[in-house]
Structure 1
Amino acid sequence: MASSARRRVLLRDVAEHAGVSSATASLVLGGRDVRVSEDTRQRILRAARELDYRPNLMARSLRTQVSSTIGLVADTIITGHYGGDIIRGALTASLEHGHRLLICESEGDPKLEPVLVDDLVARQVDGILFTTASHDVVELPAALADQRVVLVNCEAGPGVPSVVPDEVEGGRAAARLLTDAGHREGIVLVGETLTRKLPAQRRLEGLLAGLAAAGTGFADRIDCAWWPEAGFDALTEALASGLRPRALVCLNDRIALGAYQALAAAGLSVPGDVSVVSFDDSELASWLRPTLSTIALPEFDMGRTAVDLLLGDDPPAGVVLVPMPVRERASVAPPSSR
């Protein structure tokens, strides 16, 4: 039985169809500045269209050492709840640069990361993005040591270019949302601030600076994990012990969800009795009622910026801070007179 598979159209087929040499066809189809007549150039392009010619990109990359692809190695960004916009931003910027993005995920297995890096290097990618779902200090696979690399949402020490949110300024912005509304007393921080958590430490630094600039500070702090259940339990216990906040700063939107529920169970309204400010601008922020004022993670811009740096002439050897947008919604009001 004869095969129905269509034979791949080769460069020499285009050249023969156009009546030129393979070298001339290669130069024209490669977009290189070559001294041929406009009639010849159009004849070659027309032949390529008529034959549905598709260049062998792998062969071209072997010849030119430029693959027009970049790789992205992530931990749990693809399958997790956060970080998808980093990939979307990187995809958008890659296309604008005429590149394709190859995405690999380790599912949080550090032993798999060097395997993925080696695979991308073998495919001759023009650079690699290394990104994590949570903003942490990471140990890079040794295989990245001699590669063109930019980190996204993580850091690896001096000299390694990385793109991260400006968490300190984000903290200042959160403080300003409350102080501009007139809050000076009864401001309570909700969420643990462990030293190993970079977002927690930097948000806290900005919050303290922003509140100090308005002549105030936190009246109390409630330590809890960054999950709704933990926020609900910790705030419920604090309210039962007599805490009466005027405003809450939750270190992420999940804590804020738990805080909303704890306040409602205690008969307190948002923002009538207690204003609430948070961080991340996850989908929760716009789903909650009233809608939640929050400081957004600039994930799309981070992905886009990282690709621009990776494909630029000389990536900076250090940390690039991306501003965190303020999403001012309905959860903040002037202090209650009650």
Structure 2
Amino acid sequence: MGKRITLADVAARTGLSASTVSMVLNNRPGSRIPEATAERVREVAEELGYAPDRTARGLRTGRSEALGFISDEVTITRYASAMVRGILDAAEERNHAILMAETDNQARRIDNAVRLMRTRHIDGILLGLMRARQVDLPADVGGLPVIIVNGHVDGYSSVLPDEHQAGLDAVNHLVAHGHRKIAFIGRAAEHLEPRISWTIGRRLAGIDQAMHDAGLGFVHEVHGADWEPELGYRGADEIFDNAEATAILTANDRIAFGVYLAAQQRGLSIPADISVMSFDDEQLASYVLPPITTMQLPYLQMGRVAAEELLARLDAPLSGAGPDGPPGETLVAMPLIERGSVAAQGAS
């Protein structure tokens, strides 16, 4: 077996100090090392086949360089799997591993996942949710830093989509295209319950504020808590029978799928006869004809931001920074994905 390549070997080959090489290879923040120097260190390390001794480093720093990601069903849901990608990308850039566990919304499995991860001496926990809602974290996390991704747990910081701004942006997009006769499908009192949704109330508040600011009211509203195509189909039929809408705003993409079917069966063209705007950006939203203009849930960015915030907390003691402040929320913008379902409307 060949000799293990050490950090000292990389330093000797580059002619730099071991501390400089260590800062580069460990991606230490605030090192102020010129990029050309850092690139030279990385090239030599790769050429020599250097691999860090994480066990030895852990003994020195008290860190395992591993984070735990516990989710309800994110890792098995293609729609939200971008959250995992964002976490993995941020962790990889900092040479951290990710241990993942799926709980299927069972408190017992959350307890087991936390207990298992603590035996692996992880440095912190990310708890990710498919639907942004308030949940409990019954397990004893042993003082580990925890960040909630797309949800809320009392006493912990969270990273959430900026739903209020998305509601504003959706209505403003329709208004900017000349629409003043707008119908809406999907309001439901149940969604204001925090354990059902922590953010939908904000989405609706943004929608209502933008309508008010534009001096508008919905020409027709269809209420419903089950945000599936059936609601969109039934709601669109009701709108077509009772209102002269030029645009339908739906609370999510799945409702919009039903609107598409109802319009097709009536021989109506989207967007020539009726514009459709939605939220979430499910994968199928880009495959219907025309593809749906929608406000995207930024799962990828939320995962990245949450991992970066957790890593920053872990670095704080090493950099001499103060302790964490009170738990708070980091809001991530929901991008407008403009496709072909909204057309400009002439003045009415």
Q: How much does 1:229 deviate?
A: 2.6
Q: How much does 1:253 deviate?
A: 0.8
SS, match of residue 174 in structure 1:
helix
Q: How much does 1:337 deviate?
A: 8.2
Give, in whole Å, the separation in 2 of the partners of 1:310 and 1:332.
Answer: 39
SS, match of residue 71 in structure 1:
strand
Deviations 1:22-60 (A, max 9, x none): xxxxx89x9489xxxxxxxxxxxx9xx98x886653464
Percentage of matched positions with identical amino acids: 34
In the superposition, relative to structure 1, how do residues 249 and 53 fare at CA in structure 2: closer, same or farther (>3 Å)? closer
Give, in whole Å, the separation in 2 of the partners of 1:78 and 1:318.
Answer: 25
1:109 equivalenced with 2:106 (yes/no): yes
Provide the residue aligned with 1:304 in structure 2.
304
SS, match of residue 311 in structure 1:
helix
Provide the residue aligned with 2:167 in structure 1.
171
Provide the residue aligned with 2:232 in structure 1.
231
How is 1:8-19 mapped onto 2 (pairs within 5 angstroms)? none
1:242 equivalenced with 2:251 (yes/no): no
Consecutive unaligned residues of structure 1, counting only runs of 5 or more, are 1-6, 19-26, 34-45
Provide the residue aligned with 1:318 in structure 2.
328
| 1:227 partner letter | E
Give, in whole Å, the separation in 2 of the partners of 1:189 and 1:53.
Answer: 59
Provide the residue aligned with 1:39 in structure 2.
none
Contact 2:178-2:347 within 8 A present in 1 as well? no
| 1:326 partner letter | L
Contact 2:64-2:122 within 8 A present in 1 as well? yes
Contact 1:246-1:336 within 8 A present in 2 as well? no
**TM-score normalised per structure 1:** 0.80
In the superposition, relative to structure 1, how do residues 273 and 125 fare at CA in structure 2: closer, same or farther (>3 Å)? same
2:152 aligned residue (155, 158, 167): 155
Contact 2:179-2:345 within 8 A present in 1 as well? yes
In the superposition, relative to structure 1, how do residues 59 and 115 fare at CA in structure 2: closer, same or farther (>3 Å)? farther
Give, in whole Å, the separation in 1 of the partners of 2:23 and 2:173.
Answer: 55
| 57-66 or 267-276: bigger deviation | 57-66
Q: How much does 1:77 deviate?
A: 0.5
Provide the residue aligned with 1:21 in structure 2.
none
How is 1:223-302 mapped onto 2 (pairs within 5 angstroms)? 223-224=223-224, 225-236=226-237, 238-239=238-239, 241-302=241-302
Contact 1:10-1:53 within 8 A present in 2 as well? no
Contact 1:309-1:315 within 8 A present in 2 as well? no
Q: How much does 1:182 deviate?
A: 1.0
Give, in whole Å, the separation in 1 of the partners of 2:141 and 2:257.
Answer: 39
How is 1:1-338 mapped onto 2 (pairs within 5 angstroms)? 31=22, 57-58=54-55, 60-62=57-59, 64-144=61-141, 146-157=143-154, 159-185=155-181, 187-193=182-188, 194=190, 195-196=192-193, 197-224=197-224, 225-236=226-237, 238-239=238-239, 241-312=241-312, 313=316, 317-335=327-345
Paired residue total: 303
Contact 2:72-2:104 within 8 A present in 1 as well? yes
Provide the residue aligned with 2:38 in structure 1.
none
Deviations 1:248-276 (A, max 9, x none): 11111111111111111122221111111
Contact 1:68-1:100 within 8 A present in 2 as well? yes
Give, in whole Å, the separation in 2 of the partners of 1:86 and 1:315.
Answer: 24
Deviations 1:94-153 (A, max 9, x none): 011221111111122221001101111111111110110001011113323621111100
**TM-score normalised per structure 2:** 0.78
| 1:188 partner letter | A
| 246-255 or 58-67: bigger deviation | 58-67
SS, match of residue 221 in structure 2:
strand
Give, in whole Å, the separation in 2 of the partners of 1:162 and 1:145.
Answer: 19
Contact 1:161-1:315 within 8 A present in 2 as well? no
Give, in whole Å, the separation in 1 of the partners of 2:291 and 2:55.
Answer: 50
| 1:302 partner letter | M
Contact 1:117-1:144 within 8 A present in 2 as well? yes
Give, in whole Å, the separation in 2 of the partners of 1:329 and 1:97.
Answer: 36
| 2:236 partner letter | L
Provide the residue aligned with 1:24 in structure 2.
none
In the superposition, relative to structure 1, how do residues 192 and 179 fare at CA in structure 2: closer, same or farther (>3 Å)? same
